[in-house]
Amino acid sequence: MEPEDSHIISPDDRILVTGAAGFIGERVLEILAERGFHNIAGLVRPSSNLQGIEALLARRPAGTRFELLKGNLLSRSDCEAAGRGAAVIYHLAACSGETSFADAYMNSVVATRNLLDASVQHGRLRRFVLVSSFTVYTNCGKPRGRLLDESCPIEEHPELRGEAYCFGKVRQEQLVAEYGKSFGIPYVVLRPGSVYGAGKGGLTYRVGLRAFRTYLHLGGSNPIPLTYVDNCAEAIVLAGLVKGIDGEVFNVVDDDLPSSRQFLRQYKQTVREFASIYVPHVVSHAYCYWCEKRARESRGDPMPGLNRKRWHALWKKTLYSNEKLKARLGWKPRVPTAEAMRRHFASCK
Ligand SMILES: NC(=O)c1ccc[n+]([C@@H]2O[C@H](COP(=O)([O-])OP(=O)(O)OC[C@H]3O[C@@H](n4cnc5c(N)ncnc54)[C@H](OP(=O)(O)O)[C@@H]3O)[C@@H](O)[C@H]2O)c1
């Protein structure tokens, strides 16, 4: 663990975690408590499933003050109450993967704006950590060939990707950068790849998808930008603590990434066997082009949301780096990939 004088806050300072009952949020709370922070508030919606968080509260270290705040970020007064006195806000709450544009706009964009407004009003925040996603990248026109790193372009027209989640995350990032510039909110953006672990079963779209009554394997030899939930949460926690990184963006991926083919093979061996068909990249690209053309001509969308922008983001062969995360945050994976995959597949059974 890095020395405390490299941190922007002390263990007594108040920390707010939004999306605290979510898949990653729970691990963020646990790691903060493990690191000796004892003034932590977790925001959950009144309707959230609290089973995991209640178990966590029961096993927290003695002396940890843990406040469970019930509220909704769509309410400005809930945001004001939650943000009061916070030195660091970890903002994880957002709409989840498969969603509508209305949900993405409300729960990723409006919710973030309300929280930022409350932070401006309180005026005591030392860092706003936004948990964004790889989804914001276009994965085209990369300056270093196949390598996708923090210098790569993000979607200028996320609405054209046909993926509400991407739209919400791009707008969320733009909003945070605007508040940083206009109101001096100190912020850091983290972009995790595909987060996996117990509670997030199954195969990511980056491996393939189910269509035409079979499973289409689209990833082939592509490395999958995985980050195990504990490793991702560790990176998020560090982003709220380390000095001298305001305004920076960090990609979060683990070491020793498996290829899509390796991941699928291990899934079939350990979770369940099923038939799949490998679709070469040239074929999936042509099919996405055809879907896009049909949708443009309004002749009915054979597979809604399939288009070349999405193909580039999900299925183009790409290499990933966690160099910046290691160099600037001192991040190391808590769980090596082989063990993380073993735990993930065991939880999928
Ligand atoms: N999982 C991944 O693979 C992945 C990859 C890259 C980035 N991320 C990002 O990481 C963050 C956390 O993801 P996750 O996988 O932990 O998602 P999750 O399990 O869906 O958790 C998101 C949490 O946000 C809460 N929330 C949504 N709208 C809210 C609102 N208006 N007010 C208050 N709370 C609200 C949800 O509450 P309820 O429990 O009531 O629904 C949920 O607990 C998200 O920002 C996501 O975009 C995730």
pLDDT of residue 2: 66
Is ligand 1 within 6 A of the CB of residue 90?
A: no
* pLDDT (0 to 100) of residue 212: 83
Strand partners, 137: 154
The pLDDT of residue 346 is above 70? yes
pLDDT of residue 135: 97
pLDDT tens-digit readout, 43-67:
999 999 999 998 888 888 787 788 9
- Per residue, the 3-state secondary structure of 67-132, as one string, reads EEEECCCCCHHHHHHHHCCEEEEEECCCCCCCCCHHHHHHHHHHHHHHHHHHHHHHCCCCEEEEEC
What three-state secondary structure class fits 41?
strand
Q: What is the mean pLDDT of residues 120-126?
A: 93
pLDDT, mean of residues 212-240: 97
Beta carbon of 21 within 6 Å of any ligand 1 atom? yes
289: buried, middle or exposed (CB in 10 Å: 19+, 13-18, 0-12)? middle
Question: In this structure, which residue's CA is closest to atom 24 in ligand 1?
Answer: 93
- Residue 302 pLDDT: 66
Residues 6+ apart with CB under 8 A from 101: 159, 164, 167
Q: Which domains does the chain have, with CATH numbers?
A: 4-201+226-255+319-344 (3.40.50.720)
160 within 8 A of 305, measured Cβ to Cβ: no
Q: Distance (Å, rounded) from C-alpha 90 to C-alpha 69?
A: 14
Q: What is the pLDDT of residue 80?
A: 97
The CA 130 to ligand 1 mean position distance, Å, reads 12
Say whether pLDDT at 3 is over 70.
Answer: no
pTM of the model: 0.96
Determine the residue of 95, 195, 320 to mutate for testing ligand 1's pocket, defined as the one with the most ligand atoms within 8 A of the Cβ atom. 195
Q: Is pLDDT of 314 > 90?
A: yes
Token duo for residue 240: 């709220």
At residue 21 the predicted structure's pLDDT band, cuts being 50, 70 and 90, is: very high
pLDDT at residue 117, as a whole number: 98
Taking CA atoms only, the protein residue closest to ligand 1 atom 40 is: 48
**Three-state DSSP state, 298:** coil
pLDDT at 133 over 90: yes
High-pLDDT (> 90) share of the chain, %: 84
Please give the angle made by the CA atoms of 152, 153 and 157, to the nearest 5 degrees.
155
Q: Is the pLDDT of residue 162 over 70?
A: yes
As a whole number, the mean pLDDT across the chain is 94
